[in-house]
Amino acid sequence: MVFSINNSAVVVVVNGTEKTLQFKDCFGNTKTLPLTSEDEEVCETISRLVLHHKLQTRPILITGLLCIGMGQTLTHKSLGSFTSDIFGHLDLTNDQIYQLFGRITGRMKEWGNKYVQTQVYCPTIIMNRCSVMEECARNMACDHNGEIVSQEDYREPMTKMGEIGQSAIENIRIPKKKKHKKPTAEDTDKQYKVFDSQESAIIFGQTLGAKLNIRKTSDAPTELQTSGKKSNKY
């Protein structure tokens, strides 16, 4: 979609199943580079590839959710801070959207002319939730530093911030109680029994209410073979 709008863009996807950087060369061919490295942070890999391929003057877009939401650092002093950011994740919890918002912040003001204040585009309710969670974090650091506190202590600023605080209060999710499922054979089968024939194994299975079928071969299943050697035990 991005390439259909701007053919010169650089698109970075950082997700649970994909970590790539894509761009089109001077012939219009799409180049896909993996963002894998054993000794670099993701932001360092992105920066290195952008500079190596001389892409720093192009629009650079970073998208994804899973890894970004988990706390990936994406800005780097060689490229600078984000100029713009879009948050449209109304389905996220207060903590999740605050963590995602944290991806555009950091110690960047000493980056000189590489630092700009990021313009954020989002629904007002997301702005309110991030503001409230920032106050909750500040409250923890300033008023409860080093203490053992309750969830109520952490959320204390929410009730003091009026309508803005209500945006976060209404988004508090009550954990669902897990239903205790009836134990299955897989859950309770902690023992095993060895048989000399398939027929005797089938008869024993009937006493447990389990229907076993005769195998086409007289060899035991691979899982019951020893060091790959065939066995007639079941």
If asked whether residues 33 and 108 sit together in one domain, one would say yes
Q: Does 150 fall in a domain? A: no
Last residue of a domain, one of 92, 123, 154: 123
Interatomic CA distance for residues 153 and 133, integer angstroms: 13
If asked whether residues 15 and 99 sit together in one domain, one would say yes
Please tell me the predicted confidence (pLDDT) of residue 222: 66
If asked whether residues 192 and 118 sit together in one domain, one would say no
If asked whether residues 116 and 202 sit together in one domain, one would say no
Give the domain range for residue 92. Answer: 2-123
If asked whether residues 12 and 107 sit together in one domain, one would say yes
If asked whether residues 112 and 218 sit together in one domain, one would say no
Residue among 167, 102, 156 at smallest CA distance from 129: 167
CA distances to 12, 49, 213 from 20, rounded to whole Å, are: 6, 11, 48
- Confidence class for position 231, pLDDT limits 50, 70, 90: low
Q: Does 201 fall in a domain? A: yes
Please tell me the predicted confidence (pLDDT) of residue 224: 62
Q: Does 90 fall in a domain? A: yes
User: What would the pLDDT profile of 82-117 be if each residue is shown by its tens digit?
Assistant: 999 999 989 999 999 998 898 888 889 999 999 999
Please tell me the predicted confidence (pLDDT) of residue 12: 95
Q: Does 192 fall in a domain? A: yes
User: What would the pLDDT profile of 167-187 be if each residue is shown by its tens digit?
Assistant: 999 999 887 777 776 666 555
Please tell me the predicted confidence (pLDDT) of residue 77: 93
Q: Does 143 fall in a domain? A: no
If asked whether residues 6 and 119 sit together in one domain, one would say yes
pTM, rounded to two decimals: 0.67
If asked whether residues 190 and 115 sit together in one domain, one would say no
Strands (E), 45-193: 60-63, 84-86, 119-121
Q: Does 204 fall in a domain? A: yes
Number of structural domains, the chain? 2
The arithmetic mean of pLDDT across residues 8-23, rounded, is: 92
Interatomic CA distance for residues 135 and 80, integer angstroms: 27
Interatomic CA distance for residues 140 and 134, integer angstroms: 10
Q: Is the pLDDT of residue 232 over 70?
A: no
